[in-house]
Amino acid sequence: MLHAINKFRQRAGSVKFRIGGSGPHSKAYQQLAKTLDIASDVEWLGELTREQAVKEFQHCQAFILPSLYESMGIVYIEALACGKPIIATKCGGPESIVTPFNGLLVEKNNPDALAAAMLNMIKNYKSYDSNIIRQDFLNRFSSKAVLPQLLQCYQDVIENHIYKP
């Protein structure tokens, strides 16, 4: 992510990136930001409560999470619930979440592709309609959308796989 921010900044100028979360490598990442001379473009938020995370989603322009592996990617869905476009990596889960009207997918471990996606999103930002993104979330991921599918799944299992001696 930091290398992509560096490449992005070289082409687009300064933009503020707010990075949430922490881990054993946080200090090393902060040092890398200084080394790349992008420290002024990055604000480290540390661990966020659920309420803080929602507030960040509501106030951001877009959500970017370049993962190596994601089985589902709930955090992407949370961003969509707030009507925000997303940039994600092709790593398992995001492929079933990201659509052409709600975000962009890039190859993982590719800072050039990630930076290009950031530039693309800025260039075409007006094409991402937060109302449409939010409605897509409601249609695909809300409890109203998911519960009937889950109930049908359980019903199919019960009807077709009951042990009969």
Q: What integer is the mean pLDDT of 78-85?
A: 97
- Quickly state the pLDDT bin for 157 (edges 50, 70, 90): confident
CA 154 to chain centre: 30
What is the topology classification, in CATH, of domain 61-165?
Rossmann fold (3.40.50)
pTM of the entire structure?
0.88
Condensed to tens digits (0 to 9), the pLDDT of residues 108-152 reads 999 999 999 999 999 999 999 999 999 999 999 999 999 998 998
What does the domain layout of the chain look like in residue ranges?
Answer: 1-47, 61-165
Q: What integer is the mean pLDDT of 88-98?
A: 96
